[in-house]
Amino acid sequence: MEGWHETEIRVRYAETDKMGIVHHANYLIWFEAARSELCRSHGFSYREMEADGLLMLVAESYLRYKSPALYEDVLIVRTKVAEVRSRSIRFVYEVYRPEDDVLVAEGETMHLMTDIDKKIRLIPEHYKAMLIGDDEQRERAFPANQAPS
């Protein structure tokens, strides 16, 4: 899929509840793993940003569950940069089970760029360029301060 980065996840037993369904908190962990992989695929890592004295602080998260995921399911977490502003970055996600062509969950996170003292900073131009890449027509995320419908 154009503009999307895909990360494969296999559901581990420890990620499920007593009913064998993935516990809801794991999706945000998978979003983080997929976001890290997306950044690496765009030419940098969180570690490099931290070495530059920068942090991407999670300011908002949204998650909608569509279908349960179960132990041993192989899932694809699709991640895309939806918006880059002067001080914030918004990522969108889809968790997809290719075995039966089911969208399991969808969501997004919005991050503020800060320094190590947690003061909001401008996103350096070289990180913006790596995140935006060649695709200037990025899909728009849900508006800030407005719940998705």
Q: Which residues are catalytic?
A: 17
- Interatomic CA distance for residues 121 and 112, integer angstroms: 8
CA 109 to chain centroid: 6
Using DSSP's 3-state secondary structure scheme, residue 95 falls into: strand
Picking from 86, 85, 84, the residue whose alpha carbon sits closest to that of residue 42 is 84
User: Distance between CA atoms of 93 and 109, rounded to whole angstroms?
Assistant: 8
Q: How far is CA 147 from the centre of its chain?
A: 18
Distance CA 92, CA 96 (A): 13
Q: Is 49 exposed, middle or buried (0-12, 13-18, 19+ CB in 10 A)?
A: middle
